Amino acid sequence: MRRNIAVLLLATVVAAQDADVKAVKVSLDKGLAAMRAGETDKGIAYLEQVVKAKPRIARFRLLLGASYLQAKRNGEAWRQIRLAAKWAPQDRQAQQLFNRLWSVFDRAGLLNSGAPVAALKKTAGEPDKQSRERLLYGPMSVEFRGSAVHRVVDTRGLRGPVPAAKRIWHTDVDVTTWRIGHRAANRSSDIVEWVQRGDIVQRAPAMFSTQRLLGAVARGGTAKSLMTRIHAGLKRMYPTLEWKTIKDGEDDVVFEWRVPAAHGRPPQHEIARLSTGKVDVHRIAYVARKKSMTKTERAQWLKSISNARLVDAR
């Protein structure tokens, strides 16, 4: 964290010059000097004066938030950092720090579909804005139905609402034994993850998912080109990757891959299919968090995924 603070100090001096904040330069200089000297409380007091005088400068919010983190004032840090991330979508440091904090709520299951909204608000605090069906925390929109989380939408880069699905997967999967565990969307993807009843996404031994890669066709994407990118990305992440292309074609592919346990991550075996639609590329997949599926399990899911059909959404 000290290294992050040092990086932010330099960047903030530049931001101060660019934003013409001569009226707060004395407080800013004193705050930065105190932070460099390890006088965190003193530095925070000066930086609070800066933010009070220039509340709309995201860099100042980010520096104050990072300083609060250093002082273990996490609730105050969270408020400042999410505002910085919302106001400065191109600021890489603001986005990285926001993502790190947001992932804490995700790992705790607070963003799972069906999770109580009250539990999220108790941990994440009151949202920046609340409407009848959504809570806004910085750039994240948490949609809810009744008193439960429905879907999480990352609004960064989105122009308007997430496009409605024109086509959806129809499968022979018995959904009476499964439930939706998590829904998430961003500017390029809309995914629904299913878990067996009684499980949660974070610890489920198996999941299946359906996903739309939004607008991929307009950008020249096909099922095959996206499979190639997935293969390359997985190979970079997992040097011991085992990969098999089961069905090859430009607009419809089926493949599977496996990786062993490593660095605290469980082993994983996945069967997936990509199909090119009119607007989106569609994905359907089953993943088992173990070294290898049983022969029966693999055969069952390979059949279900291969036989799945894209149908017009109602």
pLDDT for 274-313, tens place per residue?
999 999 999 999 999 999 999 999 999 999 999 999 999 8
Q: What is the pTM of this model?
A: 0.87
Is the pLDDT reported for residue 5 higher than 80? Answer: no
**Count of alpha carbons within 13 angstroms of residue 236, beta-carbon side:** 5
> What are 133-172's pLDDT values in tens digits?
999 999 999 999 999 999 999 999 998 999 999 999 999 9
- C-alpha distances in angstroms, 265 versus 208, 246, 261? 19, 26, 6
How many Cα atoms are found within 13 Å in the side-chain-facing hemisphere of 307? 9
**Maximum distance among all Cα pairs of the chain, rounded to whole angstroms:** 71
Mean pLDDT of 69-77: 92
Residue 13 has pLDDT above 90, yes or no: no
Residue 256 above 60 pLDDT?
Answer: yes
Q: Which of 12-16, 124-128, 240-244 shows the lowest per-residue confidence on average (mean pLDDT)?
A: 12-16
pLDDT for residue 22 is more than 70: no
The answer, yes or no, to whether residue 269 has pLDDT greater than 80, is yes
Long-range own/partner contacts, residues 72-76 (CB < 8 A, 24 or more apart):
75/125
| Per-residue pLDDT, 18 | 47
Look up residue 129 and give its amino acid. K
Contact (Cβ atoms closer than 8 angstroms) between residue 121 and residue 127: yes
* Per-domain residue ranges of the chain: 2-101, 108-154, 167-312
Percentage, residues of the chain above pLDDT 70 = 93
Name the least confident of 8-17, 182-191, 245-254. 8-17
> What was the pLDDT predicted at 21?
53
Burial 273-298 (b: 16+ CB within 10 A, else e): bbbbbebbbbbbbbbbbbeebeeebb
Distance CA 82, CA 60 (A): 12
- pLDDT score at 313: 87
Q: Classify domain 2-101 by CATH number.
A: 1.25.40.10
Query: Mean pLDDT, to the nearest integer, of 206-223?
Result: 96
Q: Which two tokens stand for residue 165?
A: 């699905």
Residue with more model confidence, 14 or 120? 120
pLDDT bucket at 264, cuts 50 / 70 / 90:
confident
Q: What is the pLDDT of residues 35-52, one digit of tens each?
A: 889 999 999 999 999 999
CATH number of this structure's domain 167-312:
3.40.1000.10
| pLDDT above 50 (res 19) | no
Query: What is residue 276's predicted lDDT score, i.e. its pLDDT?
Result: 96
Same fold: 2-101 with 167-312: no
Three-class DSSP category at 301: helix
Share of the chain above pLDDT 90, in %: 82
Q: What is the mean pLDDT of the chain?
A: 91
